[in-house]
Structure 1
Amino acid sequence: MKTANLAIVFTDIKGFTERTSRQTLEENQRLLQVHHALLAPLFKAFGGRIIKSIGDAFLVTFESPTQAVLSGIAIQDRLWHHNRSVPEPEQLHVRVAINVGEVRLESNDVFGEPVNIAARVESLAEAGEVYFTEAVYLAMNKAEVPSKEVGAFELKGIPGKIRVFHVPRAPYRVEAPTAATIAEAPGTEKMPPFGNLALSRVPESTLSPPVDLSALGQRAAAGVAVLGQRAASGASVLGQRAAAGASVLGQQARTVGGSLFSRLSEELKTPGLGARLREKVAGRKVLVGLGLTAVVAGAAVVAFGGGATMRAIDAVEDAPEDERLPLVREAKRLIQDEKDPGRRHYLSGRLAEAQGDAGDAIDAYRSAVRAGSDDAEDRIIDLLEHPKCGVRSAAAYAVAALKLKSAVGELEDLEEDGGPDDGGGGFLGLGKCDSKNAAKNALKAFKD
C-alpha cells in the first residue's frame, strides 16, 4: 500500500444544481468548460495534481500546503476578474476547502480520513472563500498566507472538533491592479477580494484560457434576457403556491392540540392534505403532500411548528410576498446561530423553499448532506416526487452527485413513471424538461 502526506483541495460551484435544472445539456457542458478553463491552469501553476473533476467539483492534491492555499486564493481573484466581464447568470462562484494529512494512493485516486475531512470542510465554506483546517494552518508558511480562525466544528464521522481557518479579505495587496481591474462595474468591488496576492505570481500566459470564454458565454447568453423575465414570474408563482400550501399546514399545526401523536392522528383525518403522509418518529420521516406543493419537515416535531427557527421559516411561508423581507432576515439570523453545519445548511434549504426557490434549496440540501444531515438526504429524495418537473430533475442530479443509494427505489419509480409535466417547460419555463431521463441518467451514475 502506497501512502503520501498531501494537501487535499476540494472545490465546487455555488448554485450548480439550480443551473443544471434549467440548462440544456449543451449549455451545462459549456458552463463546465469555462469552469475548467479558469481553474485547471491555476491548480497546475501552483503544483497541483488534478485527481478528479466530477461535474462542478474538483479534487486536487498538492505536495505543499502553502501552494494549495495560494491556488485557492488565486482562483477566487481569477473568478472575480471573470465575473466582472460576464452577465450575472454566467458568473461563477466557487467554494474552496483544504486539508492535509497522510492519504492512501490507489489507481490515480486518494483515500483516507484527510480526504473525508476536506470534503466536510467544503460544506462549511461559503462561495468566494478559502477554508482550511488547523493541520494546514500549522504546516503552511504563515508569512506567505494571511489567516483567521473561523471556529471549531464537529464533522460527521470525525472524532473531536476540527478547527477551521480561512483567508481574510484584503486590505493587503502586493500588486497594483491592471486597467481591466480598475474598470468599475456597477455593484462590484473595485479590488479583487484577495488583492492579487497569489494571482500576481502566475504568468499572464498561464491565465490565457485554452477555450474562448466569451464565445462560450455568448452562445449560452442568448436566453439570458428571457431567463431573467421568466425567473421573476416563475419564482413568484412557485412562491405563491408554496405559501398557499404551507398556510394550510401552519393553520392545522397551530390549532390541533395535545401530544405529537394525537396531533398527527388529527391531521390524518383532515381532508386536503394530499396523498402521502409518513411519520418520522423514532427515525422515520414525515412527508406531507400539499396539492401542487410538497412541504416536508425533517422531523415530526419540526413539521408541526417545533423550534424557533422553524417557526420563523413557517412565518415566511405564511406571509404575503411583499411582507416577507423582515421575516426572511429574522429566519436567516436564527439559522446562522445554528452550531451544526449540516443543520444550518438544511434550514437554509427550508428557507429557500419557503421563498419559492427550489433550486437554491436543493443546493443547500447538497451541502447539508455533505455535512452529515440525514434530514437533508431525506428531503432531496422526497423532492423526486415534486409536482414540478424541473425540481424532480434537479433532485435526481443531486442524488447522483451525492451517490445517495437510499434513493435508488425512488429513482426507479421516477424513471418508469416520470411526471404529468414531463416534456413541457423546464425550470422557470426555460427549455424542455424530462425528469424520466434525469432519473435514468442518475441511475447510470451509480453504475459508473
Structure 2
Amino acid sequence: MKTANLAIAFTDIQGFTERTSRQTLEENQRLLKVHHDLLTPIFKAFGGRIIKSIGDAFLVTFESPTQAVLSGMAIQDRLWQYNRSAQEAERLDVRVAINVGEVRVESNDVFGEPVNIASRVESIAEAGEVYFTEAVYLAMNKAEVPSHEVGAFELKGIPGKIRVFRVPRAPYRVEVPSVVHVSPGAESPVSNEQPPFGNLALSRFSGSSLAQGPDFAATAAALGSRAASVGGQLVERTRTIIQSVKAAPRFPLASRKLMVGGGVLALVLGMGFVLRDSAAENAIDDVADASSKEEKLKLAVEARKLIDAEKAPGEKAWLHGQLAEALEAPNQAVGHYRSGVKAGHGDSKDRLIELLEHPDCRVRVTAAEELGDLKVASARGELEDLAEDGGPGEEPGALFFGCDSRKAAKKALDRLGH
C-alpha cells in the first residue's frame, strides 16, 4: 500500500445542480468547458495534480499546502475577472476547500480521512472563498498566505471538531485604521473594482494581471507558459535526484515524468517511494485533454493498446472505464466499472458510486442499477441520498424517454435489503 502526505483540494460551482435543470445539455457542456479551461491551467501552474473531475467538481492534490491555498486564491481572482464581463447565466461562483494529511494512493486516486475532511469542509465553504483546515494552517508558509479563523465545526462522519480557516479578502493589513470601525479580526471593506485576493497569487505568473482583461484563454496560456518557465528552472536543481531515481532498479521508468508546472504529476519524492502514472493512464489523460473529437478518437486507439496489455482483469476494466469517460461516454464506462467490481477492483467500485452524482440522469440510473445488481453495500448511503434528492434532468412518470434516478436508487436499495 502506498501512502503520501498531500494537500487535498476540492472545488465546485455554487448552485450547479439547480442551474443544470434550467439549461439545455449544450449550455451545460459549454459552462463546464469554460470552468475546466479556467481552472485547469491554474491548478497545474501551482503544482497541482488533478485526480478527478466529476461534473462541476475537481479533486486536486498538491505536495505543498502553501501552493494549494495560493492556487485557490488565484482561481477566485481569475473568476472575479471572468465574471465581470460574463452574462448572469454564464457566471461561475466557485468554492474551494483544502486539507492536508496522509492519504492512501491507489491507481491514480487518493483515499482516506484527509480526503473526507476536505470534502466536508467544501460543504460549508462559501462561494468565492478559500477555506482550509487547521492542519493546512499549521503546515503552510504563513508569510505567503494570510489567514483568518472561521471557527470549529462538527463535520458529518468526522470525529471531534475541525478548526477551519479562510483567506481574508484584500487589502491585507496587520492593523485596521482607527477611523474605520471594524471589530478585531474583521476585514477592511473591499471595492468591487478590486479582485477579492488582490492578485496576490495570480500575479506570480506573467501575463495574468487584470490588464489582460476577461480573455480567460489568454490567461490560461500565460499561466501555462510561466509554469513551463518555472519548471525549466527546477530541472537543474532536481537533476541529481532524477539521476539517482533512474538508477534505482525497483522503479520502472517507462512512463516517469517530473511535474514541471503544466505537466502531469508522475513522480513524488519523499516517504521512501516514487508514485508514477502508468503509460496507459498517461495515454488516457492525453485523450481527455484533446481539443477535438477526431483527435480524441485517434489517441484512443493507442490508449486501448496500452490498456489491453494490462494483465490484471480489474485494472484493465478500470482503465477501459476511464478511457470511456475521457471519450465522454459515461454509460459505457459504467459497464466497464461493473466488470472491475466483479473482479474485486476497489477503484471501479468507488467510481461507480461516484457516478450516482453524475449530471446526466441516465448515467445515474445505470450506475444505480449496477450497484443494486452487484449488491454493493458500501453504496447504501449515496443511494439513499439519490433516492431522497434525485438530481438534474429528472422526468418521473414521463412516457418512453423519461428518466427517474430516484426510482432507480430505490430499486437498488431494495436489492441491497436491510
Alignment of 1:159-170 (within 5 A): 159-170=159-170
Could you tell me which residue of structure 2 aligns to residue 193 of structure 1? 196
Alignment of 1:368-383 (within 5 A): none
User: Which of 382, 402, 414 is residue 404 of structure 1 equivalent to?
Assistant: 382
State how far apart, in whole Å, the 2-side matches of 1:35 and 1:78 are: 11
State how far apart, in whole Å, the 2-side matches of 1:67 and 1:418 are: 45
Q: 1:86 to 1:441 in 2, by over 3 A?
A: farther
Alignment of 1:239-318 (within 5 A): none
User: Which of 389, 394, 397 is residue 419 of structure 1 equivalent to?
Assistant: 397
Question: How many residues of Structure 1 are paired with residues of Structure 2 in the alignment?
Answer: 240
Could you tell me which residue of structure 2 aligns to residue 436 of structure 1? 403
Could you tell me which residue of structure 1 aligns to residue 117 of structure 2? 117
Displacement of 1:159 in angstroms is: 1.5
Displacement of 1:22 in angstroms is: 1.1
Local SS of the residue matching 1:404: helix
* Deviation string, structure 1 residues 97-129 (Cα, Å, up to 9, x no partner): 000000000000000000000000001100000
Q: Is the 8 A contact 2:48 2:60 kept in 1?
A: yes
Q: Is the 8 A contact 2:386 2:405 kept in 1?
A: no
Q: Given the two structures, how large is their TM-score scaled by the length of structure 2?
A: 0.51
Alignment of 1:34-433 (within 5 A): 34-172=34-172, 189-204=192-207, 209=216, 404-406=382-384, 418-419=396-397
1:24 is aligned to 2:2: no
Q: 1:44 to 1:133 in 2, by over 3 A?
A: same
Q: Is the 8 A contact 2:387 2:407 kept in 1?
A: no
State how far apart, in whole Å, the 2-side matches of 1:84 and 1:90 are: 11
Q: 1:402 to 1:31 in 2, by over 3 A?
A: farther
Displacement of 1:203 in angstroms is: 2.9
State how far apart, in whole Å, the 2-side matches of 1:8 and 1:162 are: 15
Q: 1:24 to 1:132 in 2, by over 3 A?
A: same
Could you tell me which residue of structure 2 aligns to residue 6 of structure 1? 6
Q: Is the 8 A contact 1:411 1:440 kept in 2?
A: no
Query: What is the RMSD of the two structures over their aligned residues, measured on CA atoms?
Result: 4.1
Displacement of 1:204 in angstroms is: 2.1
Displacement of 1:170 in angstroms is: 0.4
Displacement of 1:441 in angstroms is: 9.7
The residue type equivalent to 2:384 in the other structure is: S
Q: 1:92 to 1:48 in 2, by over 3 A?
A: same
Displacement of 1:406 in angstroms is: 2.2
Q: Given the two structures, how large is their TM-score scaled by the length of structure 1?
A: 0.47
Q: 1:436 to 1:138 in 2, by over 3 A?
A: same
State how far apart, in whole Å, the 1-side matches of 2:24 and 2:219 are: 20
* Deviation string, structure 1 residues 74-102 (Cα, Å, up to 9, x no partner): 00000000000111121000000000000
Q: 1:417 to 1:128 in 2, by over 3 A?
A: closer
Q: 1:71 to 1:410 in 2, by over 3 A?
A: closer
State how far apart, in whole Å, the 1-side matches of 2:98 and 2:68 are: 7
Local SS of the residue matching 2:21: helix
Q: Is the 8 A contact 2:131 2:165 kept in 1?
A: yes
Unaligned runs of 5+ in 2: 174-190, 221-360, 369-378, 414-418
State how far apart, in whole Å, the 1-side matches of 2:131 and 2:153 are: 13
Q: Is the 8 A contact 1:3 1:103 kept in 2?
A: yes
The residue type equivalent to 1:140 in the other structure is: M
Q: Is the 8 A contact 1:37 1:211 kept in 2?
A: no
Unaligned runs of 5+ in 1: 174-187, 214-392, 424-433
